[in-house]
Chains A and B, each alone.
Chain A
Amino acid sequence: MKINVFGSTISAMVCAGCLAETGNNVTLIGELHGDEAEPGLSKLLDSQISAKRLTVSDTLNSEAETHIIALGPDDCGEAKQIATLLKRHADPDSTIVVRSNFSIGIVDQIIDIAQLEYAINPDFASDGHQIASFTRPDRIIIGTHSKKIKDQLRRLYTPFNRNKDVIVEMSPASAELTKYATNAMLATRISLMNEMASIAENTGADIEEVRLGLGADKRIGRAYLYPGIGFGGDNFTRDLERIQRLLPHSSDNAGQSLLKSVITINDNQKELFFRKLWQHFDCNLEDKTIAIWGLGYKPNTTSVKSAASVALINAFAHQGCQLQLHDPFAMQESRKWIHKHLTPAEQRKVSFHEDMYAAAEGADALCVLIEYKAFWSPDIETLSEKMRSKIILDGRNLYNKPWLEDHEFTYYGVGR
């Protein structure tokens, strides 16, 4: 099949690469960065380009039978320009498949312009597992009213749908909402676990034990039951903000909304370690030195968007703390954030450290915010020597509490 794929996102590249690999003639209208962080992606793209099944171009193939839109979720303007191009140059019998996660309602506008039959086919993959998610998906959602597209996409996805049929057909509106509902459900599980964690702290329970017990129930399952110091990231945060706008107005349901609570709990959770240290030092954190390991919203990301680190840096800086920061990937983004949001006086109290132990030098407390691999088993002797007061706050419950207590550390986890 001749296919146009629009977008410079990882999602666009993975889609173009995987579809080329299964024999399609794919034109990727976008830019390759050349150093794609997604595992296996560069190799896949190189091989398909040399096999001449994949062309990277700035013009579309006007003979394509389908046009896949995989732009970033905020690139609605660009999507409309593409729609205009398609109206002008595309075969009137060709179709549009939207994999981008636009705000609800945008797709209608695109179709109004392009005047082609269309489907919504959301991309559920998460960073780091994009290729596997495309080639061995849990589910393929096809949201369309068009019989032609249903047949077309079934054919296109046949190589990835062999083990059992994972295609779920529905209307476009349902497909759009399914994508949002997925993130809303995951967020709800996490906030619920965080609420349970705060109950655990008050009742002497250990949330890690509770998590294992809970996950053993097949109706519940083990995924997304990890308590922590809040979720972040571009997509998750954006989806929740967008879905909030679709919620009933504050005058409905007496202003109550589950998702609002989910977001509030999450926001509160990000400041958990501020509260622990605030109480530990009896409401006076002035000139305390706080070390933070893990600034991104998750391991191996450069993004600090909605990360717990920014909420904590903000809170500690306001109290006059010295901050010593370390992250293997996100230091540059963190630096930018700090430059934008802290006062010059506060900024002077912040330092960045390539070496994780250097960040802990002279610290009154160490906050570990993400489960980056190198953080799992730190050299406790070195930390003991370097830190001024031995307090560890473990945002992902990585450490064995008795082990740290044996080394005379004060340990604060989440819900234990």
Chain B
Amino acid sequence: MKNFDAYSKLEELSLEAKQRHLAGLFNTDNDRFKKFNATMEGMVFDYSKQNITAEERNALLELAEQAELKAWIQKLLSGDKVNHTEGRAAGHTFLRDVNNPKPEVCNEWHKMEELVDRLHSKQLRGFSGKAITDVINIGVGGSDLGPLMITHALKGQRNVNAPELHFVSTLDGTQLQRLLKVLSAETTLFIVASKSFTTIDTLSLAKTAREWVEQHSQSEAGTMQHFVGVSTNVPKMQEWGILPDHQLQFWDWVGGRFSLWSAIGLTIAIQQGIAGFKAFLSGGHEMDVHFQEQPFENNIPVLLGLLGVWNINFLQVAGQAILPYDSRLKYLASYLEQLEMESNGKHTDREGGFVDYRTCPILWGEVGPNAQHAFYQLMHQGTERVMADFVLFATPAGKTERHKYHHNLNIANCLAQSRALMIGKTDQDTHKDYPGGQVSNTILLEKLDARHLGMLISLYEHKVFVQSVIWNINPFDQWGVELGKQIALEILEKIEQKDPSEFDASTQGILHSIWDINHEN
């Protein structure tokens, strides 16, 4: 990145930018919103509250040109092996190409539709012949966060015949045990969602679930009515005993954190019906088309990505807050934490060298009105410079006067916070001094439904890709998560042998303390 001419230009421009106050940009230009927003059908992207001038934006666009972003977008969308460390394409956009789908993708849609129809018509049966009433998704990371986020957001719009959905992910098992206490084995279906079908988190929970069903079911055939597998690894699903009709497949060219568009999104299809799932895919696809076709100056994912680079690499902003002003997006921040930090939280470039610039910032977030009573204090008066994305919906969730009132209250709060962060306020009393100058984007969507959520998620995926191109890193692998998994297996073995002597003093000390508490020493 540092070799590009545009980088030097931006570095030079940033000297002045760092000196000025964001609020000043508005004082000198009444038309700032007009000049610093981009739109597409259903979405308005306002970035006028970024500390940026037209000249700086042009230099950023120049940086994108020099990094050959256009060509990289083409490579991504045409299925080149952009994930070079694993020798794979990153084909999530193929999963949502509703107008021109791959035959294998279509085939899985049909299988999903069949399962969904059987569930909705109460004809998917458990071992006793009773219809399934509850579905538990067992999955972790990409097999959990995406479907959880979307189905939580769209719960109010669910198909009336849809069964209840539940999600479990953590290998300590307490989420699952709580559900097993209140649900009936006769009428519960488990979706075992794992890209490799070997993930210990998921497979250990699946085994616990299976033993629970076996306590009630008289036969193997009966037990297996209760399990659906979603994986790239068909032989492993087969070996586990998943019935052929219950095996849904995706492919190694689908990254885990991009997999909610595949059969991993089965819970979305169960909740919304296949038409709702397709609406979600269509929304994602609309953003793909926008990403591919729009010139960079009106290309929302490109702008979102470049503004991040400007803040991180030139203005030394350290954190990224995600602030949806709608409680239905409770899990958006968790989802984006994985999407952004697992993709771009890297210090090795595409050629294998270490980078000498910052990449993905720490990203966190919370539903806006809740966050106002939590960490906004730090954003208003703390010492950290952070950037924020406000996400807002234009139409209220209901039609009554009270809905309208709450909707306006919510809009007022969202706009008040982004304005306060931008403008600040000086006061004689230093405790009441607000420095302001905190930058933000506002993503305004028409309404919260499957299609607009598809657009929003696809936007962030492409933002991540844009930044990865500028930073010259591969966003589609995740070698960083392997070391811990490997050490966990080593420690588990030593726990069973009661011999931690080869580990560091801290590990040994904690293990001995645990054994003391349990009288196992």
Identify the closest chain A residue to B125 (Cβ): A278
Q: Are A279 and B218 in contact (CB under 8 A)?
A: yes
Contact with A along B127-149 (1 / 0, CB 8 A): 11110000000000000000000
Q: Which residues from B are CB-within-8-Å of A284?
A: 221
Q: Is A258 an interface residue (CB 8 A)?
A: no
Task: Digitize B106-126: 1 where CB-to-A-CB distance is under 8 Å, 0 elsewhere.
Answer: 000000000000100101010
**A residues less than 8 Å from B222 (CB atoms):** 279, 282-283
Chain A residues near B128: list those with CB within 8 A.
275, 278-279
A274 part of interface (Cβ distance < 8 Å): yes
Which of A268, A276, A283 interacts with B219 by CB under 8 Å? Answer: A283
Pairs of residues from A and B, 10 with the lowest C-beta to C-beta distance, nearest first: A275-B129, A278-B129, A318-B123, A283-B221, A282-B221, A282-B219, A283-B222, A283-B225, A274-B129, A275-B128
How far, in whole Å, are A271 and B186 apart by their CA atoms in the complex?
A: 15
Cβ-neighbour of B125 out of A282, A283, A314 (below 8 A): A283
Hey, what's the 0/1 contact readout for A274-298 against B, CB within 8 Å counting as 1?
Answer: 1111110011100000000000000
**Cross-chain pairs A/B with CB under 8 angstroms, 16 sampled:** A268-B130, A271-B129, A274-B129, A275-B129, A278-B129, A279-B127, A279-B218, A279-B222, A282-B219, A283-B219, A283-B221, A283-B222, A283-B225, A284-B221, A315-B123, A319-B123
Known: A282-B221, A283-B222, A283-B225. A318 touches B121 (CB 8 A): yes
Closest to A318 in B: B123
Complex alpha-carbon distance, A319 and B121, angstroms? 13
A194 to B118, CA, bound (A): 27
In the assembled complex, the Cα of A319 lies from the Cα of B221 at a distance in Å of 15
CA distance A275 to B122 in the complex (A): 13
- Complex Cα spacing A271 to B131, Å: 10
Distance of B158 from chain A, by nearest CB (Å): 16
Chain B residues packing against A (C-beta within 8 Å)? 118, 121, 123, 125, 127-130, 218-219, 221-222, 225
CB nearest neighbor in A for B127: A283
Kindly identify, within residues 301 to 351 of chain A, every residue whose CB is under 8 Å from any CB belonging to chain B: 314-315, 318-319
- Please judge, given known A-B contacts A284-B221, A318-B123, whether A279 and B129 are in contact too, CB under 8 Å: yes
Determine how close the nearest CB of chain A comes to the CB of B450; give it in whole angstroms.
26
Contacts of B129 in A (CB 8 A): 271, 274-279
Number of residue pairs across A and B with beta carbons under 8 Å? 33
Residue from the list B130, B219, B225 in contact with A275, Cβ < 8 A: B130
Q: Mark A208-246, 1 if CB is under 8 A from B, else 0.
A: 000000000000000000000000000000000000000
The DSSP consensus for interface residues of chain B is loop
Most A CB contacts (10 A, CB to CB) among B125, B127, B218 go to B125
Spell out A's residues near B (CB within 8 Å).
Answer: 268, 271, 274-279, 282-284, 314-315, 318-319
Per the bound structure, the CA–CA distance linking A277 and B118 in Å amounts to 19
Closest chain-B Cβ to A128's Cβ sits at a distance in Å of 33
Q: Which of A282, A283, A314 counts the most chain B CB atoms within 10 A?
A: A283
User: How near does chain A come to B182, taking the closest CB pair, in angstroms?
Assistant: 15
Residues of B within 8 A of A271 (CB): 129-130
Determine the chain B residues whose CB is within 8 A of the CB of A315 once the complex forms: 123
For A283, what are the chain B residues with a Cβ–Cβ distance below 8 Å? 125, 127, 219, 221-222, 225
Q: How distant is the Cα of A276 from the Cα of B130 in the complex, in angstroms?
A: 10
The docked-state distance in angstroms from the alpha carbon of A282 to that of B222 is: 7
User: Shortest distance in angstroms between B280's beta carbon and chain A's nearest beta carbon?
Assistant: 27
Known: A275-B128, A277-B129, A278-B128. 8 other contacts (CB 8 A): A271-B129, A271-B130, A276-B129, A283-B127, A283-B222, A283-B225, A314-B123, A319-B123
The 8 Å CB contact of B118, one of A274, A279, A282, A318, is A318
Query: Bound complex: CA of A268 vs CA of B131, how far in Å?
Result: 10
Complex CA distance for A276 and B121, rounded to whole angstroms: 20
Q: What is the minimal beta-carbon distance from A198 to any residue of chain B, in angstroms?
A: 11
A404 to chain B: closest CB distance in Å?
A: 22
Shortest CB-to-CB span from A175 to chain B, Å, is 35
State the CA gap A315–B124 with chains docked (Å): 10
Of all chain B residues, the one with the shortest Cβ separation from A267 is B122
Distance in Å from the Cβ of A267 to the closest Cβ of chain B? 10
Q: How far is the CB of A412 from chain B (nearest CB, A)?
A: 12
Alpha-carbon distance A278/B222, docked complex (angstroms): 9
Closest partner residue, chain A, to B218 (CB atom): A279
Bound CA–CA A28/B83 (angstroms)? 84
Cβ contacts under 8 Å, A318 to chain B: 118, 121, 123
Residues of A within 8 A of B121 (CB): 318
Distance in Å: Cβ of A320 to nearest Cβ of chain B: 11
> How far, in angstroms, from A274 to B131 measured CA to CA in the complex?
11
The CA of A163 and the CA of B218, in the complex, are separated in Å by: 60
- Report the nearest B residue to A283, measured CB to CB: B221
Q: Which residues from B are CB-within-8-Å of A314? A: 123
In whole angstroms, how far apart are the Cα atoms of A283 and B118 in the complex?
15
Chain B contacts of A319 at CB under 8 A?
A: 123
| Complex CA distance for A271 and B121, rounded to whole angstroms | 14
Q: Among A314, A315, A319, which residue has the most Cβ atoms of chain B within 10 A?
A: A315
Rounded to whole angstroms, the CA-CA distance of A282 and B220 in the bound complex is 9
In the complex, A74→B123 CA distance in Å?
31
Q: Which residues of chain A come closer than 8 Å to B118, judged between CB atoms?
A: 318
Return A290 CB to nearest CB of chain B, in Å.
14
Instruction: Give the distance to chain B from A391, nearest Cβ to Cβ, in Å.
Output: 15
Of listed B123, B125, B129, residue having the most chain A CB within 10 A: B129
Query: Closest approach, in angstroms, between the C-beta of B21 and any C-beta of chain A?
Result: 52
Q: How far is the CA of A274 from the CA of B218 in the complex (A)?
A: 17
Report the Cα distance A279→B225, complex, angstroms.
12
B218 vs chain A, min Cβ distance (A): 7
Give bound CA distance, A282 to B128, whole Å. 9
- Shortest B229–chain A CB gap in Å is 17
Complex Cα distance A274/B123, Å? Answer: 11
Shortest Cβ distance from residue A315 to the other chain B in the assembled complex, whole angstroms: 7
Alpha-carbon separation in the docked complex, A278 to B219 (Å): 12
- Chain B residues lying within 8 Å of A275, measured Cβ to Cβ, are 128-130
Within the complex, the shortest CB–CB distance from B123 to chain A, in Å, comes to 4
Q: Which residues of B contact A276 (CB under 8 A)?
A: 129
Q: How far is A279 from B218 in the complex, measured between Cα atoms in Å?
A: 9
Whole-angstrom CA separation of A278 from B217 in the bound complex: 13
A395 to chain B, nearest CB (A): 15
Residue of A nearest to B128 (CB): A275
User: Which residues in A have their C-beta under 8 angstroms from that of B218?
Assistant: 279
B113 CB, min distance to chain A CBs, angstroms: 14
